[in-house]
Structures are given as C-alpha cells and as structure tokens.
C-alpha cells in the first residue's frame, strides 16, 4: 500500500537523521544504532541485508559530515589517512568473516558489542591526549584493529576510532571527532563494497537513510561548538539508548538461536 511505503520512507529518513546527527556531534555512537534501527523500525528483515545497507549509508553520511569539520580545521589529514588506510585492510577481512557467520548469531554478538560500546562511552573523554614522538606505527596498528571490528560487525566504528586517534596519535577531542569521519567513511565503504558484491544492500532504503543522515549531520555539525559543553550529557543519553537497544536485541534474538 502507498501509505505503508510512505511511512517506511519517513522512518528511514528519520532514523538516518539520528545517526547523522550523532556522527557530527560526538564522532560516533549513533552508527551502531543503524542496524537495529533498520531491523526493528524500518522493517528490513534480513540481518546481513541490514548490515550491508547500514554500512553504505553510514559511509556516505560520514563523508558528508567530514566536509564541515574539514572546513573548520578539525581534520589532521596525514595521521588520519594512515589510520584509515590500515583500517581498510582490517575492514576487508572483517566484512568477509561477518558475511560467513549466521545472521542470527551475528546479531547476538552485535548486541553484546553494543553493551561494550555503552560501557566505554559512559566513561568521559579527557580534553587532550599526550602526543607521541612516533605516532604513525601506533596509528597503523590501531587502525587495523578498529577496521577489522568495524568490518566484521558492519558498523562505522566511531566509538573505537575517536579514542584510538587520541591514544595513538595524541589528538584532541575535536580533532579526533573530525578526523574519525574519514576512517568511518572508508571503513564503511569497504564493508559496503563487500556486501554489495554479495547482493546484500537495499539501495532504496540506503538512499532514504542517507538523505536523513545528511540533514541530521549538517545540523549536528552546526551545533557541535554550541553544544560542546553539553556533549557529555548527549553522550550519556546516547549511551543509555545503545544499552537499552542492546538488551532488547539480546532478548529478541537469543531466543531464536
């Protein structure tokens, strides 16, 4: 029915805007909600199809959100590129393993990861990290690991990338948030290409999700400075949402195994 189609389109756009705003405001977190949003709100029925679709949407949203951060001088291109290129290799390997695993088991592991993410996000970030004398090897190794996890679970990985850049490269928070979007975009594109080769992307839903993400991302980037003092509260709110969704996924999916 046309009414149902319209409602699904609106849901996909609204869900995409939530993910885009989160990417722009705090550099990640919201992208891990993309898969459960597609499954339980938009109505995508297959787990692998939801993962493939979400990675494409999150990748494009990340690249779009990168633009205002780059214009504001928040991106350290050389270090971010080393981190991202190493992570692309990890994402290629991880996405292949993720497609091989049964979708139901993958969702249970995904929900468990969400609980870990919520626990990590609950801890407040420091304003700056200690610079390293030789950061490139650290950035490469950390990027490889982050990319592997992002590819396996079909996530943007911002919750890993932002602290990873701070740890390995001595980035400030705002530099890590801006620079992380390059890695999120490349990791997602690598994973999406792998899933697309297997026919596991719903292109129409992805386009709607991206459209919402563009609007949410630009609004989030505009509010990043104004809401800087409230970023901790926003982070806590998103953390609670992630944990709640994870518990719901475990309750729903574990019983089907």
Checking if the pLDDT of 228 tops 60, the result is no
Query: Could you write out the three-class secondary structure of 225-257?
Result: CCCHHHHHHHHHHHHHHHHHHHHHHHHHHHCCC
Q: How confident is the model at residue 4 (pLDDT cuts 50, 70, 90)?
A: very low
Q: How confident is the model at residue 88 (pLDDT cuts 50, 70, 90)?
A: very high
Residues of the chain with pLDDT > 90: what percent?
32
- Tens digit of each residue's pLDDT (9 = 90 or more) over 47-79: 899 999 999 988 888 888 788 889 989 899 999
Domain boundaries, position 143: 2-254
Q: Which residues pair with 128 in a beta bridge?
A: 172
Which residues does 109 contact at the CB level (< 8 Å), separation at least 6? 101, 153
What is the pLDDT confidence band of residue 255, given thresholds at 50, 70 and 90? low
pLDDT above 50: residue 213: yes
Q: How many domains does the chain have?
A: 1
Q: How confident is the model at residue 89 (pLDDT cuts 50, 70, 90)?
A: very high
Q: Give the residue, 219 or 42, on which the prediction is more confident.
A: 42
Q: What distance in Å separates the CA atoms of residue 113 and residue 255, rounded to the nearest whole number?
A: 18
Question: pTM score > 0.85 for this model?
Answer: no
For residue 197, give the nearest of 19, 86, 55, 42 by alpha carbon.
55
């Amino acid at each position: 029915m046309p009414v149902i189609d319209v409602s699904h389109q609106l849901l996909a756009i609204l869900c995409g805007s939530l993910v885009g705003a989160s990417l722009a405001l705090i550099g990640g977190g919201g992208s891990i909600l993309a898969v459960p949003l597609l499954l339980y709100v938009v109505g995508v029925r297959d787990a692998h199809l939801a993962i493939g679709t979400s990675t494409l949407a999150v990748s494009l949203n990340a690249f779009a959100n990168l633009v205002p951060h780059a214009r504001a001088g928040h991106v350290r291109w050389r270090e971010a590129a080393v981190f991202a290129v190493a992570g692309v290799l990890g994402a290629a390997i991880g996405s292949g393993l993720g497609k091989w695993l049964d979708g139901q088991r993958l969702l249970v592991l995904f929900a468990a990861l969400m609980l870990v993410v919520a626990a990590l996000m609950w801890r407040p970030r420091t304003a700056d990290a200690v610079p390293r004398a030789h950061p490139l090897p650290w950035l490469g190794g950390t990027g490889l690991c982050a990319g592997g996890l992002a590819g396996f679970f079909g996530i943007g990985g911002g919750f890993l990338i932002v602290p990873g850049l701070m740890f390995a490269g001595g980035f400030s928070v705002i530099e890590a948030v801006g620079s992380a979007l390059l890695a999120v975009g490349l990791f997602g594109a690598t994973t999406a290409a792998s899933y697309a080769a297997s026919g596991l992307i719903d292109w129409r839903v992805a386009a709607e999700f991206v459209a919402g993400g563009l609007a949410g991302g630009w609004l989030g980037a505009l509010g990043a400075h104004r809401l800087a003092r409230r970023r901790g509260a926003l982070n806590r709110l998103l953390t609670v949402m992630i944990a709640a969704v994870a518990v719901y996924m475990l309750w729903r999916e574990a019983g089907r195994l």
